Homo-oligomer: A and B are copies of this chain.
Amino acid sequence: MLPFKTLLQIDSNSRQAIFQQLANQLIQLIQDGTLQTGERLPSTRQMGEFLNLHRKTIVSFYDELIAQGWLETAIGSGTFVTKTLPIHQNQSLLSLETSSSEFVNAPVLAEKKTFLDIPALSASSTSLRLDDGFPDVRLAPMEELSRAFRRYLTAGNPYTRLGYTDPKGSLRLRNFLVDYLNNSRGLRISTENILITRGTMNAVFLASQLLLNRGDNVIVGETNWSGANMNFQNCGANLLTVPIDDFGMVVDAVEEICLKKQVRLLFITSHHHYPTTATLRADRRLKLLQLSEKHGFMILEDDYDYDFHYQSSPHLPLASADRQGTVLYMGSFSKSIAPALRIGYLVATKEIIERLAQLRRIIDRQGDSMLEYGLAELLEEGIIKRHLRKSLKNYRQRRDIFCEALSTELKDKIQFNIPEGGMAVWAKFSAEINLPKLSESLLKDGLSISTGRSYRFDNQSFNEIRLGFASSTEDELLRSVEVLKMRI
């Protein structure tokens, strides 16, 4: 007879009833092969004595296992482990006592497709930070948003509102955005041309999955957003890099590539190049569209920081001049409200939107209905517009104060152009400064900055990084510059 008193343990803090705890443990003994099929169990009276429990509890325990098919009774002769259970190789009792989470044999992942090694990102928990160019979530209309969420959860027809919805996103939000984009950004789209996504990363993922085959050529800036590069590489695409200068992507270099190779896709942040913040010059905008038409490549245009341009009005996106349907245009509210609220959109031809909606159905079924509802409410009420105006004003002041302090305090150490827009300064550190080391030592002073490793296709470190100014108050920016000065 097995040592049931040792094998079956009761946890009096458990959320489960005792009979159920015992039943689950006995199933595991059967599954492990410790209890063999056909083996006879102690009578309910005996088992009650072993475990120091009332016989009624043991009856419930056995009944439960009979109902689930693990035990069976033979009238007059007792209770047995079901005979038709397949025989399990007996394992050492020892292995049962280690409640380790390590599985005996890890499954062989080597057989599987080669997979991209995507570096982990960790959130900064320092009190000061010059981040990658994130918005200041303290400015966001969180009270209004939480009221909208409450309305979503508690009002209206709950079955349709809280049930399964259109994978393309809220119709109300799409309709609002269509008008808004047509009016503000010179697009000429209707509701069938837009899909709500979970931020820009999600839009890039969807577009890459639809458009790219293994071996396709994709043109990107020699400095570029790693989130886009990783997605293209994950689809097996070849990345072809072109230089970026003070006027954005060097379009002549794009033409040179097109004369030699078939290009499938070009990725661009035309408003403010990520990471350098340069704005694509007007002649290059036109030329790029012409090249796209002539050589038959698609353009994936990421306009994530359209809302924050400080010199003139925001520039019209390439998509505003697209008459061929070759531009896929992306925007995001994650960068204008809060990174954790994942919502953006993708604009393309009806055919592409239909295909992307099909794809999204099997990725995550649908978007974030509550967030889409809340955003539509705040957009319609003009609250987002006011928020963006307030942010623009704050960010412009922060940019000016930060650039002024950098110039004054770190003139010989850091070179930069004042950015026309966006939320970060592209800062070149003097050659003698070791950025990864500096970044590490600054953490001790409570300031986090980038190590500079993720801005290039080859992930090589070079001495330029983004210093985000938008998420810090003027006082925090000045203190950050002080800390920088002390350590450099």
Residues of A within 8 A of B (CB): 11, 14-16, 20, 23-25, 27-28, 30-32, 64, 67-70, 82, 84-86, 88, 91, 95, 99-101, 103-109, 112-113, 115-118, 120-121, 123-125, 129, 134, 137-138, 140, 142-143, 145-146, 149-150, 153-154, 158-166, 180, 183-186, 188-190, 192-193, 198-199, 201-202, 204-205, 210-211, 213, 227, 230-231, 234, 281-283, 285-287, 289-290, 296, 298, 311-313, 315-316, 320-326, 338-342, 349-352, 355, 357-359, 361-366, 368-370, 385, 471
Contact = CB atoms under 8 A, between A and B. Distances in A.
A154 B164 contact: no
B315 A68 contact: yes
Copies of this chain in its oligomeric complex:
2
Contacts of A313: 20, 23, 64, 68
B69 A162 contact: no
Contacts of A20: 313
Contact of A283 (B64, B85, B109, B121): B85
A143 B60 CA distance: 37
A358 B324 CA distance: 35
B325 A107 contact: yes
A15 B340 contact: no
A226 to B, nearest CB: 9
B338 A365 contact: no
Contacts of A103: 322-325, 349
A459 to B, nearest CB: 15
Contact of A361 (B121, B158, B282): B121
Contacts of A210: 109, 112, 115
B362 A364 contact: no
A115 B31 contact: no
Given A163-B340, A342-B364, 15 more contacts: A20-B313, A24-B316, A85-B283, A95-B323, A99-B188, A107-B325, A118-B359, A123-B166, A137-B158, A137-B162, A164-B339, A201-B362, A202-B363, A204-B362, A342-B368
Contacts of A11: 183
A409 to B, nearest CB: 24
A116 B358 contact: yes
A24 B199 contact: no
A154 B289 CA distance: 44
A370 B23 contact: no
Contact of A104 (B159, B227, B230, B325): B325
B164 A137 contact: no
A341 B321 contact: no
A109 B27 contact: no
